[in-house]
Amino acid sequence: MQPIGPLMIEHRLIERLLHLMAQEFARIKANMEVDPEFAFVDPVFIDTAVDFIRTYADRCHHGKEEDLLFKALAEKNLSPEHRKLVDELIQEHVWAREATASLVKAKEGYLLEAPGALNDLMEHMGKLIEFYPRHIEKEDRHFFIPCMAYFSEAEQADLLARMQEFDRMMIHEKYRGVVESIEQHRGCKTCH
């Protein structure tokens, strides 16, 4: 398998999550049209979707793109067109991180019944639903396949092996982070 294989497989799962998110968006919107006061947002769904985006789409997937594929490409003599595409993709990852943080903030505001929080939540959710398919299409159709031509077969095999190692470490990193954040919270003088 080429190193873009796992990345394309991951795109398919990200699309499935985005499809569920679009369904949730449509459900809330329909409720809002009936009565915005009683439009119910399921905070568990939002938390689950945000965890998926942060852990899987961002750390696991964008992580392999940025830390491995784009880094390896930076050592190649890229065409101006491909160099521009890498820069755009990195900027889009930054945008997605910020939009996800805004969604979390809006969900917290919604739970505290802050005015305008529901509209903010819908705005950020809508933007993420619109963003990911475009970003994925750009990579799948215009970037991944042509950029493989910069690597020899041996380099591709090395990149794939490093991606597998990256994934292997991810679960440990994720749950080490979970424990560390609880430990830090316990040590917080304001709360305890």
Q: How far is the CB of 95 from Fe ion (least distance, A)?
A: 11
Place of tokens 């299409």: 137
- Of the residues 82, 124, 132, 139, which one makes contact with Fe ion according to CB under 5 A: 139
Quickly list DSSP for 169-188: HHHHHHHHHHHHHHHHHHT-
Our CB check for Fe ion shows the closer of 65 and 120 to be: 65
Radius of gyration of the chain (CA): 19
Match 């979970």 to its residue by tokens. 178
**Stretch in the footprint of Fe ion (CB under 5 A) among 17-25, 37-45, 102-110, 135-143:** 135-143
Question: Minimal distance in Å, beta carbon 89 to Fe ion?
Answer: 5
Q: Is 68 in the site for Fe ion (CB under 5 A)?
A: no
Which residues are CB-neighbours of 80 under 8 A, at least 6 positions away? none
- Minimum distance from residue 127 beta carbon to Fe ion (Å): 16
User: Contact between 57 and Fe ion (CB under 5 A)?
Assistant: no
Angle, CA of 89, 138 and 48, to the nearest 5°? 70
Which CA distances in Å does 61 have to 7, 42, 108, 179?
A: 7, 26, 26, 23
CB atoms within 10 A of CB 28: 20
Residue 133 Cβ, how far from Fe ion at the closest point, in Å? 11
What does the DSSP 8-state code read for residue 97? H
Residue 8 CB, nearest distance to Fe ion (Å)?
8
Nearest-approach distance from CB 138 to Fe ion, in angstroms = 8
Does residue 120 bind Fe ion (CB under 5 A)? Answer: no
Contact range with Fe ion by CB under 5 A, out of 44-52, 64-72, 74-82, 102-110:
64-72
Which tokens go with 149?
A: 């031509």
- 8 A C-beta contact, residue 86 and residue 73: yes
The interface region with Fe ion, picked from 42-50, 59-67, 102-110, 122-130 by CB under 5 A, is 59-67
Among 26-34, 57-65, 155-163, 179-187, the segment contacting Fe ion (CB under 5 A): 57-65
| Binding site residues, Fe ion, CB under 5 A | 65, 139
